[in-house]
Chain A
Amino acid sequence: MEDKLTKEEVLHVATLARVKLTDEEIEKYRVELKQLLNEVEKINDVEGYDKERMIAPWSDNTTLREDKSSDMLDPKEVIKNAPKHSGNYIEVPVVIGESEGA
């Protein structure tokens, strides 16, 4: 088994996680991510388990709350932590490119 990921593989997982990497980081993660993935791969050696799945160790029945508004927050407060905002809006860069928008 190759003990390093390829540069492309690292860039692929970095894209999935939306993280920009420097060349130095790419080299480092080629080794480190491979070490983690090798470990995770060992799950395929486990046999004899039951197919039933547990998403969370939680057994209460789901209950819906009453359809009443409560705990209202002031919109100005809510967006306070957004780095760029104006009035009651959060500012974002252009999402749809010019060619798509035309």
Chain B
Amino acid sequence: MYLDKSIKEINNLLKNKTIKPIDLVLEAFDNIEKNKDLNAYITLNKEEAIKKAKELENKEVDNILFGLPIAIKDNIVTKDLKTTCASHILDNFIPIYDATVVEKINDKSMIIIGKTNMDEFAMGSSSRTSYFGAPKNPLNKEKISGGSSGGSATTIAAKDLLFALGTDTGGSIRQPASYTGIVGMKPTYGRVSRYGLVAFASSLDQIGPMTRNVYDNALLLNAIVGKDPKDLTSSSKETEDFTRLIGEDISNMKVAVPNYFMSDIVSDEVKDKIKETIKILENNGVSVDYIDMKYLDKAMILYQIIAMGEASSNLARYDGIRYGHPIDNPKDIEDLYFSTRAKGFGDEVKRRIMVGSYLLSGDNAKTYYNKALSIRDDIKKEFSKVFEKYDLIIGPTTTTTAYNLDEDMDDPLKSFMDDVLVIPVNMAGLPAISIPVGKASDNMPVGLHIIGNSFDEATIYKLASFIEKKVGEIYE
């Protein structure tokens, strides 16, 4: 099976014409068919993917991602390919343009295989708020894959294909990556254009790569970054080769572990795995210090205020006029709005836009929102201070391993608690990755979270790749 080989091997096979892109595409669809019960996809793009693969047969293999299948989270718009955000309100939405990341993927001659399952509008931490039902964790089908990029994590962990895109507003790439034992990177805010990403919380959202290994991850990031005139918040920072530090010497690196990340909120088993990893680093010349950081424990509250506030405003556009399923014969326009949204949105989304609207209304904006923005600024400064002394910050990605799909969904705080360790990163706009570092006694993976300074993804990949290799040696 070709998709089990390394990216370099596949690239060589394509170059010397031993295989064609269509072989990879058909193999991916076979895998997806076999793993259908995992519910990783909302829409498959089979006809178009096969057509594209055949077109590529006449093209020169001009880059390492050429001809490779990729899965796209269903909140990233794809021209003429249904994009639902896992919501009833958009379940008939056919975008008329491609997101900038999709254009970039097409420029590399990658082949879009389908749109992956997720929490509705990316609101949730287990992908169970999807209108289309939750994806299942390939490592144990009783367990969640995490969320909100649960479908992308599932298809990578199931080894259907090598590449997927996810999005991360408060951990939605890294947390499912941790639960499914794959590699997920949230790049620096502004690295990747958000044009064509259906907005949830615009000051937090970022698109990023989800892959089986660190090297592939850096390659996919190479392909999607860059200034985009269509996204004001995309950065004009020069792009670079994110694989360039992989394999370099890591001794003398300085790493910080915030005490909060190893506090009582984290299970002992998860902490033990992280401590083992820290030991490996120390044995290889990395200095690791435990430090105190202010406000990390407040990030979840800030997230609730900022993300729900921004969401309530971003989701105002789903009104039954421009999108959605309007009711017949509404009394007036208000009736149309109220009824369309009642029918179109699920429970979690309703909860969040109600609280968000409340938090931004009248004087509440001052009491809550402005205050949250001030503390957010302090969190960013707190991180900056740490990065004056240290190259990277590490800790666990999640407090526990993946839990059961049938666990209670009625606690409105649960989905936020699942992301308590990853949310601070979105507040400060920093890049961070989750990589697997072994398994707990339930045989489910534990993720290591590596946070870098703004625009320093390359250093994250350097350490991540070293750890991946060492951990691999232990488990072989």
A binding-site residues for B, Cβ under 8 Å? 10, 12-14, 16-21, 25, 29, 32-33, 35-37, 39-40, 42-44, 46, 49-58, 60, 62, 65, 71, 73, 77-78, 80-84, 90, 92-95, 97
Query: Does B378 interact with chain A (Cβ within 8 Å)?
Result: yes
- Complex Cα distance, B295 from A58, in Å, reads 20
Query: Does B305 interact with chain A (Cβ within 8 Å)?
Result: yes
Contact between A37 and B342 (Cβ–Cβ < 8 Å)? no
Contact between A33 and B305 (Cβ–Cβ < 8 Å)? no
Query: Does B353 interact with chain A (Cβ within 8 Å)?
Result: yes
Query: Does B97 interact with chain A (Cβ within 8 Å)?
Result: yes
Contact between A65 and B229 (Cβ–Cβ < 8 Å)? yes
- Complex Cα distance, B236 from A29, in Å, reads 44
Contact between A46 and B298 (Cβ–Cβ < 8 Å)? yes
- Complex Cα distance, B324 from A42, in Å, reads 36
Query: Does B428 interact with chain A (Cβ within 8 Å)?
Result: yes
A-B contact pairs, 16 of them (CB 8 A): A14-B354, A16-B354, A18-B338, A19-B353, A21-B342, A40-B355, A43-B372, A51-B374, A54-B380, A56-B233, A57-B189, A58-B190, A73-B96, A82-B322, A90-B321, A93-B335
Query: Does B35 interact with chain A (Cβ within 8 Å)?
Result: no
A-B contact count, CB below 8 Å? 172
Chain A residues positioned under 8 Å from B371 (CB to CB): 43-44, 46
Known: A49-B374, A56-B203. A43 touches B332 (CB 8 A): no
Query: Does B284 interact with chain A (Cβ within 8 Å)?
Result: no
Chain B 324-342 interface mask (CB, 8 Å, partner A; 1/0): 1110001011111111011
Quick one: closest A residue to B430, CB to CB?
A57
B binding-site residues for A, Cβ under 8 Å? 92-94, 96-97, 189-190, 202-203, 229-230, 232-233, 235-236, 295, 298, 300-302, 304-305, 312, 316, 319-326, 330, 332-339, 341-342, 345, 350-351, 353-359, 361, 367-368, 370-378, 380-381, 410-413, 416, 427-430, 454
- Complex Cα distance, B96 from A77, in Å, reads 7
Chain A residues positioned under 8 Å from B93 (CB to CB): 81
Known: A36-B304, A56-B189, A65-B229. A43 touches B375 (CB 8 A): yes
Chain A residues positioned under 8 Å from B236 (CB to CB): 60
Quick one: closest A residue to B378, CB to CB?
A49
- Complex Cα distance, B372 from A39, in Å, reads 13
Contact between B380 and A57 (Cβ–Cβ < 8 Å)? yes
Contact between B304 and A84 (Cβ–Cβ < 8 Å)? no
- Complex Cα distance, B418 from A86, in Å, reads 46
- Complex Cα distance, B96 from A80, in Å, reads 9
Contact between A19 and B341 (Cβ–Cβ < 8 Å)? yes
Contact between A58 and B376 (Cβ–Cβ < 8 Å)? no
Give the distance to chain B from A68, nearest Cβ to Cβ, in Å. Answer: 11
Known: A14-B354, A19-B353, A43-B302. A54 touches B322 (CB 8 A): no
Contact between A93 and B336 (Cβ–Cβ < 8 Å)? yes
Contact between B336 and A36 (Cβ–Cβ < 8 Å)? no
- Complex Cα distance, B345 from A21, in Å, reads 11
Contact between B96 and A56 (Cβ–Cβ < 8 Å)? no
Contact between B330 and A32 (Cβ–Cβ < 8 Å)? no
Give the distance to chain A from B415, nearest Cβ to Cβ, in Å. Answer: 11
- Complex Cα distance, B376 from A53, in Å, reads 7
Chain B residues positioned under 8 Å from A42 (CB to CB): 301
Contact between B374 and A52 (Cβ–Cβ < 8 Å)? yes
Give the distance to chain B from A18, nearest Cβ to Cβ, in Å. Answer: 4
Having A33-B355, A90-B321, one finds 5 other A-B pairs with CB under 8 Å, namely A18-B319, A33-B351, A39-B300, A43-B298, A81-B92
Chain A residues positioned under 8 Å from B339 (CB to CB): 20
Quick one: closest B residue to A70, CB to CB?
B229
Chain A residues positioned under 8 Å from B320 (CB to CB): 83
- Complex Cα distance, B326 from A102, in Å, reads 28
Contact between A53 and B301 (Cβ–Cβ < 8 Å)? no
